[in-house]
Amino acid sequence: MVPDPAAPLTFPAGFLWGTATAAYQIEGAAQEDGRTPSIWDVYSHTPGRVRNGDTGDIATDHYHRWPEDIEIMSGLGVGAYRFSVSWPRVQPTGNGPASVKGLDFYRRLADGLLEKGIQPVATLYHWDLPQELEDAGGWPERDTAYRFAEYAGLVADALGDRVTTWTTLNEPWCSAFLGYGSGVHAPGRTDAADSLRAAHHLNLGHGLAVKALRERLPAEARISVTLNLHHVRPLTPSAEDADAVRRIDGTANRIFTGPMLDGAYPADIMEDTASVTDWSFVQDGDLGLIHQPLDFLGVNYYSPTLVSHHEGPSVHQSDGHGASEHSPWPSADRVAFHQTPGSRTAMGWTIDPSGLYELLTRVRREHPGLPVMITENGAAFDDYAGPDGEVRDPERIAYLRDHLAAVHRAIEEGADIQGYFLWSLLDNFEWAYGYGRRFGMVYVDYASQRRTPKSSAHWYAELARTGTLHPR
């Protein structure tokens, strides 16, 4: 039976409707209460790294305006708020005791959320490594994984009585390959071997952090990792293009899902990167430490990737993260990247909800029994306030509607998808793009810090209230 495209779609009872942010993108207060620089503070203050010289020094001033932001969320009726903890705010040097003032901020935030009936969901790492740890070598150094586990324990001790849902890492692919490969994210290094070392030590840090959390949190706590899984497609049906997909899928996805979910690195990844590294940084016992049971997998999705076979060096292009002469793909020999067809967001990313459906179908097939949360999905558009002060963003509503229809289709076919977090709550500092890209469902006038819910926010509030998605 063909489903009626005009019929409303009802999500399962208990489906969690949330929204998400990241500490460096919104908090500001970069030098308050003992916080020290992160790699993103140093990177954004380096001339030429971020458009217009923008920094996260003030951002959207969430550090001071969090009560207002909670009131906005409460008014919209969202059930959960996924925030990240700033490592240099909580453990300023990346070593030693925690900062009481830093932890108190997150205690107040969690208490404020709970008072409004909003579930706090904590992400331990959203790219803001303390600069002192980067000075000691950063993620390419094994010790950073152990420092991360220590930090995870400090946060769990402080928030474990308030927060029941935890994420270790957000998008370790970006941390490893944009930070240490192409250099378009902090710390801005461009060494292919270091990017692979960083990927392994992020995996190890994840596993060690899960163990630290399990030791400290109540039995009912739920622990996850969030991956920006890439949906990679071939340009043609040829065997050569299929092999290009395999190569990119390796360092996009399986370099993380392999050890985290299956307990091993796929052999083809090591073969593809043998000219870059001998993988001697993987020590005996590491895979057992990385392969920890998870309560669900966080999946972030924005757009698919299109590749083909290419004779000669890799042909990579700006993929919306930032332009660089250096590739974030250490396995991309003989691979060309292509722009996917279709309409685009302000990031240049193609709007293609079918990629999300196919990605969720793959997760269900390859990891049966593992629940999923959509921990990020959303779009940047050139939003502006009209003469009446309203911010109308019908393009974002259409984007969200179509992607949520794809999620619903996957659920109907048996995927265990338990919630959806719209990225993002607020317009904010968009990494290398500074304040030039707006992902928020709440418009922020950066000069005044005034918040204005966009039309998409009111649309999402109705969806969260009813659990029913209506057609266009």
What does the mean pLDDT of the chain come to? Answer: 96
Q: Give the pLDDT score at 52.
A: 96
pTM of the entire structure? 0.97
| Other Cβ atoms within 10 Å of 250 Cβ, number | 24
Query: pLDDT tens for residues 175-223?
Result: 999 999 999 999 999 999 999 999 999 999 999 999 999 999 999 999 9
Average pLDDT, stretch 153-159? 98
- Written as one letter, the residue type at 12 is P
Q: How far apart are CA 353 and CA 193, in angstroms?
A: 34
CA distances from 116 to 74, 85, 111, 203 (A): 6, 20, 9, 35
**117, 48 Cβ separation under 8 angstroms:** no
281 — pLDDT class (breaks 50, 70, 90): very high
Residue 113 DSSP one-character state = H
Query: pLDDT tens for residues 32-46?
Result: 999 999 999 999 999
- Written as one letter, the residue type at 445 is D
Give the CA angle between residues 202, 34, 131 to the nearest 5°.
35
Query: pLDDT tens for residues 316-372?
Result: 654 566 778 899 999 888 899 999 999 999 999 999 999 999 999 999 999 999 999
For 280, half-sphere exposure in the C-beta direction (CA atoms, 13 angstrom radius) is 3
- Alpha helices (runs of H) in 259-412, residue ranges in sequence order: 267-272, 286-290, 353-366, 394-412
What percentage of residues in the chain have a pLDDT greater than 90?
94
Query: pLDDT tens for residues 63-110?
Result: 999 999 999 999 999 999 999 999 999 999 999 999 999 999 999 999
88: left (phi over 0), alpha (psi -120 to 50) or beta: alpha
Q: Give the pLDDT score at 1.
A: 40
> Which positions are catalytic?
171, 376
Nearest C-alpha neighbor of 134 from the set 190, 181, 180 = 180
| Other Cβ atoms within 10 Å of 293 Cβ, number | 9
Partners of 166 in beta bridges: 122, 223
| Other Cβ atoms within 10 Å of 311 Cβ, number | 7
Report helix, strand or coil for 233.
strand
Average pLDDT, stretch 408-433? 98
pLDDT at 314 over 70: no
- Written as one letter, the residue type at 73 is M
Average pLDDT, stretch 267-295? 98
pLDDT at 3 over 60: no
Backbone phi, then psi, for 175, in 5-degree steps? -60, -45
pLDDT at 2 over 50: no
CA distances from 81 to 69, 210, 217 (A): 11, 21, 19
Nearest C-alpha neighbor of 290 from the set 225, 193, 236 = 225
Q: Give the pLDDT score at 282.
A: 98
Q: Give the pLDDT score at 6.
A: 75
| 262 CB burial (10 A radius; 0-12, 13-18, 19+) | middle
- Written as one letter, the residue type at 202 is L
For 68, the token pair is: 């207002």
Q: Give the pLDDT score at 66.
A: 98
Q: Give the pLDDT score at 323.
A: 77
Average pLDDT, stretch 109-113? 98
Residue 14 DSSP one-character state = T
Query: pLDDT tens for residues 368-409?
Result: 999 999 999 999 999 999 999 999 999 999 999 999 999 999
Radius of gyration of the chain (CA): 21
**141, 203 Cβ separation under 8 angstroms:** no
CA distances from 190 to 176, 200, 327, 332, 469 (A): 10, 17, 8, 15, 44
- Alpha helices (runs of H) in 327-444, residue ranges in sequence order: 353-366, 394-412
- Alpha helices (runs of H) in 291-447, residue ranges in sequence order: 353-366, 394-412
| Other Cβ atoms within 10 Å of 183 Cβ, number | 21
Average pLDDT, stretch 397-422? 98
| Other Cβ atoms within 10 Å of 251 Cβ, number | 25
Q: How far apart are CA 369 and CA 377, in angstroms?
A: 23
Nearest C-alpha neighbor of 422 from the set 456, 377, 465 = 377
Q: Give the pLDDT score at 313.
A: 64
Q: Give the pLDDT score at 156.
A: 98
Task: Report the Cα 334 to chain-centroid distance in Å.
Answer: 28
Q: How far apart are CA 198 and CA 185, in angstroms?
A: 14
